[in-house]
Amino acid sequence: MDLFPSSFVLRRTIPTLVVDYLITGDEQRAIHFSLEMLKGTAPVVTKDFTTNIPVQRNYLTTILGNLLTVGGTIDVDIQEGFKNEWIEGEEWWNPEEITPSQPAYDEQTNTYSVYTREEFAWLPTHIDDMLTATPGFTLRICNDIDMSGVEWSPIYPGSSGRTYTVDGQGHTLRNFSMSGKFGAVYEYKLGSFVLGRYNAYTGVWGKFDGIMKNLTFENITINGLAHAEFPVKDVDGEPVDHSKEFSYFAGCIGYTGGNQWSMNSKFENVHVRHIQIKSSATPSQNLGGLVGWIGSGGGNAGNRVAALKNCSATDVHLTGYQAGGLVGQVLGDRGVSFDDCQTENVYIRYSSISSSSGFIGNIGDGGINISWSAAIEINNCNPAQNVYYINDRTGEPNTTYKPQSPFYGHKNSVDVVTITPEETTEP
């Protein structure tokens, strides 16, 4: 069964009735429907339509006719190959086999060119070799890449401090699904005691250092269907347990910069739309629509080495804390800059609401003797006007929580943030 299989439209001259997203699969099957009209809560008329109407995944079915007229007729029109604006990729429990292939490499320009999903799928297991053999390379995206049906393994170099450039050339990476099966193990410790062990650094890139530009991410799903309201079975027919899924350092880019100064972590003209991190609320943190966690920094005001410029995130659904529509957490003493960035339509589910907002979730772990030169700069940015905080236990919206600023959920008192133009209203 598929949550986004088809669209079904039922029309009468006036009014128009629309029903979207019937649950169906690749096999064609027939349905029939009934129509009930009410005046307030009192029934006026009910009519059962016994006509069997075929529906199938990605077939737009439109019914036209005088549905409540005695002796009326209806016309059924079926458009094959219909695709919604947002078709969520095949989820990770039903993967599609794919054979990775090496992208072409131009030695003269030190550039890899990726044209196909098979070539993009080659990157996760070869990124360390590429950084060793061809340091400072450029990865050029030459087509839109669709990863539907692939359980994605994040691109995750084994070490930080080695940078490269990703040039999307205006293309889109879409329909990536990640279960959390792949990724490095992160241990959260108190002294020598391990408080938690997480498969972390989740995203199309689990970890990225360098320059990324002119790229769009679309339909990115992390951890599948946490708290799914309908039963799902794996390929062996066993129920899938989504109650304990978690995310740590998660976004289209999970983690950038490490704890290093003066290392490029720059994103320019990078956009994301339709991202869902469907995790469990309690252990999940550092979640961002674009980047989960930013740690590098340095440089002078107006010329930071960790910078986001002309980036955006739209229709972002996050479950956890330290969650932000654009970035989950930024280290507060690193001098990261945001220029001409914007977010909109951000949904944050939580177990305990804190350090979250529609732009940056948390500005934390700042230094004690912070200098003005290390201030975080936010210039000409537009934080989301539509931000929804939802209690993950009850599903009820929280109308009382207010972040410290529309631009960030929380910051430490020692961390300096400069906002241009200055905020003029309370969050």
Bridge partner list, 174 = 146, 218
The ranges assigned to domains in the chain are 7-79, 104-420
Chain-wide mean pLDDT for the chain? 82
In the predicted model, is pLDDT for residue 307 greater than 90? yes
Confidence of residue 8 (pLDDT cuts 50, 70, 90): very low
Q: What is the pTM of this model?
A: 0.78
The Cα 177–Cα 174 span in angstroms is 9
Summarize pLDDT for 163-203 with one digit per residue, the tens.
999 999 999 999 998 887 777 777 777 778 887 777 789 99
The Cα 150–Cα 96 span in angstroms is 5
Summarize pLDDT for 82-134 with one digit per residue, the tens.
655 444 444 555 667 899 999 999 999 999 999 999 999 999 999 999 999 99
* Longest CA–CA separation in the chain, Å: 82
Summarize pLDDT for 251-277 with one digit per residue, the tens.
999 999 876 677 789 999 999 999 999
By the 10 Å C-beta count (0-12 exposed, 13-18 middle, 19+ buried), 16 is classed as: exposed
The encoded tokens of residue 224 equal 């599948």
State residue 230's pLDDT score: 57
Q: Alpha helices of 3-91 — where are they, by DSSP H?
A: none
State residue 14's pLDDT score: 43
Nearest to 286 by CA among 382, 172, 362, 220: 362
Contact 15, 68 (CB under 8 A): no
Contact 198, 183 (CB under 8 A): no
Average pLDDT score over residue span 341-353 = 94
Nearest to 105 by CA among 142, 139, 141: 139
